[in-house]
Structure 1
Amino acid sequence: MEFTCARGPDAKGSTEHLKGLGRQFEIDFENILQCEIASDTELVERLVNNTRRYDQKAAALLSAASTWAYSDADTMARMICLRGIPNNETVSMHLENDALFLDTTAHVIQSQCGELVIVCFGGTLPTNTIQLLLDASVKTDPFFSTGIVHGGIFRAFLGLWPGIRVQLKGALLGYSNCFINAINEISHRGYTDLKTFDLKRSTMENSTLPGAEDGCPATVGRAKMKALYLTGHSLGGALAVLAAAAMHTDPVLAPIRDRLCGVYTFGQPMVGDEVFAKTFGSMFGDRLFRHVYRNDVVPHLPPRTVGWFTHFGQEYTPSLATWKFRNTRASQTWFGLYALAIGAAAWIKDQVPFLSKVSLPYSLGDHNPLNYLRTSLQSFPGAEFGPLSRACPTPDG
């Protein structure tokens, strides 16, 4: 597994460090970097104090994270910084095993104070054959004796979960993301006797630790995690649901359960059967917020021909203002190939102006993460690259 650590720079703080250099070369760094300063300075506090209710600003932030989950750690850290979480520490982990049809990514994002943690899972790229084969691996597996789940998705989750589990345990104890990542790397390199290991010197030499040149005191200790959010688009949304379910079966992570403020998924397929849905629906269904954009075909999969799957939690669909709650659930299609063929036809139809008004029940085009992001932001094209507060006016401020 490949681990990468990055920090979303705080442009305000950067200008202080660059003042001397700016005077030397007559460069106005403050005005230059002002373009990267997020205006929503109260976002972290708002999300930390969330009372498990659906929050539009949380949906906007997490839809952005789900969209950028298809990129690398540095891009994710920068984009989340622009959304209102400056100086975030992002640890990305990538797992690849072609023989097992595994090619999955997860990002663990921690606010500078340490109180807010977001785990964002990457989805399926249409150009990635291994990921498409993983989605097609619909043979079911038992989920720790609690119902059955999609076998391919479950394998992808099991591969990523150990690394995520370590990061969450570290955040719960009050350590920084990058510090825990460094410790995890050290343990896997064979440093079994930590009593004789010079941790300070190692962290100073480890480029994955921001601030290591100062002896790393600021990157070791943080406030303990108070709020956790799980999110993802498509396959990533299904992995987020499995992560929430795993927390509720893992005694080591029992203290985290009350800190789970929300699982926000976008275009998420069904994960498990009725037993799985009822069991975990009673545990965190009130904090599972599933977003379904128009006729997106993926929330209707996997098909009934491979088993009886069902959704749980709260479902939201687009409205004129933003997302609205729907008191029904996306139903399971009978035949997967039929639904995908209709979805592909709908995408082709959308490219022809005079056919645009023809209605089809399923659409692959509606599954595009950009549709989910722009609906969450209620913004103009291009706003997905900018700060949250400029792109997401909400009625409640």
Structure 2
Amino acid sequence: MAKGLNRLYWSIVLTISILPILVTAIYGNKYYFWSSIVLFKTILLFGFIIFLWIHFLKYCVVIFLKLLSGTSKFLSPIANYLNQSKVIGPIISWYIRAVFFFWFLVLLISDVLIRTILSRASGIHEGTGFHYTPINASDTDFQPLGLFEKDEEVEEKKKLYGDNFPKYNKKLALSLAIASKIAYEDVPIIKYELEKAGYDMNSFKPIAYKNVCGYIVEKDDNIILVFRGTNPFNIQNCLTDIRALLCKIESSSRGLIGLVHEGFFEAIGEDSSMDELPRSQSQTIIELSNTSLVKTIETIFSALKTLVFFAFQSLITHVHDPVDHRYLGEDARFVSAYSQAARWISKLCNNDSENGDEGLNNIRQQKSKKHLYITGHSLGGGLATVFLAKLLKDDSPLLDIFAGIYTYGQPNVGDINFAKAFGPELGKKMFHHAYNNDVVPRIPRWHPYSRPPGNLVFIDASFSIYLYPPDPVTNIPIPIRRISYLHLSGLLNLKVIRRMRNECWLRIFYRIIFPFFINDHFPGDYVRAICEGTIERVIVGSPGQIGGLEKTKN
């Protein structure tokens, strides 16, 4: 990747430097010729200086990290004092929040420029020739991707905690975290890495509906449904997440399930019959006739009218309701994500049965040996939880093969009643990971939003993993601690500084331009934390319990 970036850099420098000479040669002005030569040399000189400066910084990373480490140790007692102060501490805390908020707004406004620049420096996937997305460009390792066997570390913990230990599998959590991470890439990269991990590619299906993208794939009777998260460099995606009003979700058999995030609920869509889909909305037929001159002119103008109306209507639709064409595959724009996923999973469970509704019923009758895992990062995690809620609402036969849901950095999606509605049996299979100061698992914060149903898996800065099952009596999930703006975090955290020695320059660049609570949200950090982390404790829920307050190891 380094050689590719160097070639890209010098190509840009040479292109910019030669432009003045080309302009002068085109217009044939001899007076400006020597000026263009001087400008050409000046640009090359500046390019060379910048190139040397970048490589100088590269070799000075060790010194830079030592300076950060010294600064962290110097500021540590000051931060502890301010954290305990009742007057000065809160004032400085609010000031830091305001600075971070302003800087984040600047980044959102500049999202198009940032994405353009980073896409050029993101590197190329060797197996497919496609560019990595800026989100994963700093960590392009997408294996291991298919671990479904038992975890020895977890089995030892089960012996220690007995029935209090949830049905958590750390190896599976790692594989699904990578599956969620790779969902940000183009479909050819996803398929390449999945095939490399041994998945059956005949079972692969990309999903695209409104602002929802994802995929389904199977390996050894294990079916995974993965929802893609929000692109943090796209302000339109961020604004979509802000639509956080709550709506009721009701079931004919269970009654009121609870209140759920309106944007996520509508994004998943409702189940619909394939025969009732409005195909006319996505296809337009134009008829022309040349039986006579009048008929020819008449049909031409009619066709032009139809084309203009179709173009106008389509542009409005794509602006108001954009669909990622890379995941679309077939003409399924008006088929909800819920229908696409449920029908394809049913098809996989019933040996390619063509009838989706009949296939769903057969799952319950035949007692399928398949196992369904649902996962997603960020927005994808919220969509995964809402998808499971819709299965619960419809009393879907797919619940019979549901084996677990693992989400990473997912936002809150419903109220307390929504969290309690899944019950203890489903709750034992639900795991929502929150890494250190990641801001997304803590929002929305306002009433009546509550933590997602099931188990909280909190990972601190030292990669220690703590499991918090819900309250055993009320089934209410354990809330996560708030972000502390007075603790040393991000570039001032010793644990982060030590890890930066093994990080690429792009990841360090992200750490510099993004606030620490955004840096902790990257999917690569979740993957690394689970891979290198160890399960420290299982903390059974109790009244007033808050997750993430345990003292971390240095």
TM-score w.r.t. the length of structure 2 is 0.44
Q: Is the alpha carbon distance of 1:44 and 1:86 closer, same or farther for their aligned partners in structure 2, counting shifts above 3 Å?
A: farther
Report how many residues are paired: 275
The one of 374, 379, 384 aligned to 1:230: 374
Q: 1:245 aligns to what?
A: 389
* 2: CA distance, partners of 1:154 / 1:172: 25
Letter in 2 for 1:271: V
Q: Is the alpha carbon distance of 1:129 and 1:95 closer, same or farther for their aligned partners in structure 2, counting shifts above 3 Å?
A: farther
Q: Is the alpha carbon distance of 1:281 and 1:346 closer, same or farther for their aligned partners in structure 2, counting shifts above 3 Å?
A: farther
8 Å CA contact 1:161, 1:243 repeated in 2: yes
8 Å CA contact 1:174, 1:224 repeated in 2: no
5 Å-filtered alignment, 1:185-334, equals: 226-251=370-395, 253-254=396-397, 256-304=398-446, 307-318=448-459, 323-326=465-468, 329-331=478-480
Q: Is 1:170 aligned to 2:347, yes or no?
A: yes
The one of 367, 380, 384 aligned to 2:521: 367
* 2: CA distance, partners of 1:274 / 1:53: 22
The one of 143, 146, 169 aligned to 1:55: 169
Gap runs ≥5 in structure 2? 1-126, 128-140, 159-165, 251-255, 270-335, 357-366, 471-477, 498-514, 534-554
List per-residue Cα deviations over 1:230-261 (Å, max 9, x = no partner): 0000111111111212222224x32x213111
Letter in 2 for 1:350: G
Q: 1:132 aligns to what?
A: 238
Gap runs ≥5 in structure 1? 1-10, 12-35, 97-102, 185-222, 334-338, 380-397
Q: Is 1:109 aligned to 2:217, yes or no?
A: yes
* 1: CA distance, partners of 2:349 / 2:224: 13
8 Å CA contact 2:368, 2:401 repeated in 1: no
Q: 1:153 aligns to what?
A: 264
8 Å CA contact 1:229, 1:263 repeated in 2: yes
The one of 347, 350, 367 aligned to 2:490: 350
Q: Report the Cα offset of residue 228 of structure 1.
A: 0.5
Q: Is the alpha carbon distance of 1:92 and 1:240 closer, same or farther for their aligned partners in structure 2, counting shifts above 3 Å?
A: same
* 1: CA distance, partners of 2:378 / 2:175: 17
Q: Is the alpha carbon distance of 1:331 and 1:76 closer, same or farther for their aligned partners in structure 2, counting shifts above 3 Å?
A: same
Q: Is the alpha carbon distance of 1:39 and 1:239 closer, same or farther for their aligned partners in structure 2, counting shifts above 3 Å?
A: closer
Q: Is the alpha carbon distance of 1:378 and 1:331 closer, same or farther for their aligned partners in structure 2, counting shifts above 3 Å?
A: closer
Q: Is 1:118 aligned to 2:262, yes or no?
A: no
List per-residue Cα deviations over 1:263-311 (Å, max 9, x = no partner): 0010111111111111114351110011110111111111215x33233
* 1: CA distance, partners of 2:381 / 2:262: 15
Q: 2:531 aligns to what?
A: 377
Q: Is the alpha carbon distance of 1:300 and 1:281 closer, same or farther for their aligned partners in structure 2, counting shifts above 3 Å?
A: farther
* 1: CA distance, partners of 2:191 / 2:469: 35
8 Å CA contact 1:232, 1:264 repeated in 2: yes
* 1: CA distance, partners of 2:168 / 2:425: 16
Q: Report the Cα offset of residue 78 of structure 1.
A: 2.3
What is the DSSP-based 3-state SS (H/G/I as helix, E as strand, rest coil) of the residue aligned with 1:147? Answer: strand
What is the DSSP-based 3-state SS (H/G/I as helix, E as strand, rest coil) of the residue aligned with 2:421? Answer: helix
* 1: CA distance, partners of 2:198 / 2:458: 25
Letter in 2 for 1:152: G
Letter in 2 for 1:107: Y
Letter in 1 for 2:392: H
The RMSD of aligned alpha carbons is 3.9
TM-score w.r.t. the length of structure 1 is 0.60
* 1: CA distance, partners of 2:222 / 2:382: 22
- Which structure is larger by alpha-carbon Rg, 1 or 2? 2
Identity %: 27
* 2: CA distance, partners of 1:279 / 1:292: 22
Q: 2:193 aligns to what?
A: 79
What is the DSSP-based 3-state SS (H/G/I as helix, E as strand, rest coil) of the residue aligned with 1:146? Answer: strand
What is the DSSP-based 3-state SS (H/G/I as helix, E as strand, rest coil) of the residue aligned with 1:107? Answer: strand
List per-residue Cα deviations over 1:300-326 (Å, max 9, x = no partner): 111215x33233211112266763313
Q: Report the Cα offset of residue 128 of structure 1.
A: 2.2
8 Å CA contact 2:412, 2:444 repeated in 1: yes
List per-residue Cα deviations over 1:17-58 (Å, max 9, x = no partner): xxxxxxxxxxxxxxxxxxx9x8999x45669xx998211111
* 1: CA distance, partners of 2:384 / 2:144: 29
8 Å CA contact 2:145, 2:175 repeated in 1: no
Q: Is the alpha carbon distance of 1:83 and 1:295 closer, same or farther for their aligned partners in structure 2, counting shifts above 3 Å?
A: farther
Q: 61-70 vs 241-250, which deviates more?
A: 241-250
What is the DSSP-based 3-state SS (H/G/I as helix, E as strand, rest coil) of the residue aligned with 2:444? Answer: coil
Letter in 2 for 1:172: C
Letter in 1 for 2:435: Y
List per-residue Cα deviations over 1:351-374 (Å, max 9, x = no partner): 5789x89xxx98121111111011
Q: 1:29 aligns to what?
A: none
8 Å CA contact 1:121, 1:233 repeated in 2: yes
Q: Report the Cα offset of residue 84 of structure 1.
A: 4.8
